Amino acid sequence: MIPTIKGEKLGMTSVFDGAGTTLAVTLVRPYPAVVTQIKTPERDGYSALQLAYGETSPKHVNRPARGIFSRAGVGESYARFYEVRVPEEKLNDFKLGQKIAPAEFLLGWAEVSVGGISKGKGFAGGVKRWGFRGQCRSHGDPDNRRPQSSGGTDPARVFKGARRPGQMGNALAAVKSCTVFEYYRALNVLVIQGSVPGPTGAELTITVTKEFTPEELTEHEAQITLDEKQAAMLKTDEPEAEAPVPEPEGPAEAATEAEVAEEPSGENDTSTGSRTEEGQ
C-alpha cells in the first residue's frame, strides 16, 4: 500500500448518509500507477518510490522518460511521475514495473488530505481577496473599496507579505482531514465528503491520514460488497416481457358472435346505394 495517490476531480454531487441527511461530496477518480524506480537510503539518501501515471501514446514521451521506462521494464507509456515516501523496511514489498491498482487499498481509507491548485479568479481587490471591511461610507465617500495605506513612510518601502490587491486563486491549496464517504471499486470512484481545491478535471494529490480499524473495515467491506451485488443485479436483470392477456371465453363471446352472424350483410351496400342516389 502507498500513502499518496493522484486522482482526477470528476465534480460534486450529493448523497444520503445512514440517518437520511444530505451530504455534499466530491467525486475523484484515482489514477492507476506503476513503479518506475525504487530509491534506497544507501544510494539516494532516502527511501521512496517513483511512480508513473496517466497513460499516453509513445510519441508524447521524451527520451529521458523512455530510458526510465526501459530500465524499469515498463511497456506502456505514461505522462507524469511523482514520488511517495515509503519506510525502508517496506521497500521489499515493491518491485520495478509493478502496477498499483487503487482498488487494492482505498477501501481501508477513512480520512484523507486533498491538495491541488485552486480555481483562478483573476485580479481581485483587497476586499474580495482578503476580506477587508473597506473604508467608512459616510461624508459622501465615492469609493469605499480602495486599498489601504501602503505602510509607514519611515522604511520608504512596502514590507514583503503585505495583503494587497493582486492575483486571486490559481495557487496550491489543501483541505485536511476529509472524510471518505465511500469508494466504489466497480467504477473506481472515491467519494470524499465536502469540497476540494480545483475545478472539474483538475489533478489532485490524495494522502491518507486515518485508516479503518480491522473491525470497522470488515463491516465496511461487507456493506460495500452488498451494495455492489445489488447494483450488479439491477444492471443484469432485464424486464420480463409482459405475457399476452388471454381473451375471455364464455357466454358473452358466444352471444357477440351470434349477433354478428344475424346482421344483414347488405346493410352497408344499401346505405352506400342510397348515398349514391342522393348524390345523383
The per-residue DSSP string of 4-41 comes to EEEEEEEEEEEEE-TTS-EEEEEEEEEPPEEEEEEE-H
pLDDT in tens, 62-95: 999 999 999 999 999 999 999 999 999 999 999 9
Does any domain span residue 101?
A: yes
pLDDT tens-digit readout, 207-224:
999 998 888 878 777 766
What pLDDT, on a 0 to 100 scale, did the predictor assign at position 245? 61
**pLDDT tens per residue across span 145-157:** 877 777 777 888 8
Judge whether residue 268 has pLDDT over 60.
Answer: no
- CA 251, 256, 257, 258 dihedral sign is positive
Look up the domain containing 89 and give its range.
4-122+165-212
User: Within a domain: residue 259?
Assistant: no
Q: Is residue 13 included in any domain, yes or no?
A: yes
Give the per-residue pLDDT at 247.
60
Answer whether residue 132 is part of any domain.
no
Distance, CA of 29 to CA of 106 (rounded, Å): 11
Residue 3 has pLDDT above 80, yes or no: yes
Percent of the chain with pLDDT over 70: 79
CA-nearest of 179, 190, 186 to 216 is 179
Query: Number of folded domains in the chain?
Result: 1
Q: Is residue 199 part of a domain?
A: yes
Q: Which comes out higher in pLDDT, residue 236 or 274? A: 236
Measured CA to CA, the distance from residue 219 to residue 228 in angstroms comes to 14
Per-residue cell: 128: 474580495
Residues 47-57 have a mean pLDDT of 95
Where residue 279 falls among pLDDT bands split at 50, 70, 90?
very low
Specify if 93 maps to a domain.
yes
Q: Is residue 233 part of a domain?
A: no
Three-state SS for 188? coil
Position 129 in a domain = no
CATH of the domain at 30: 2.40.30.10
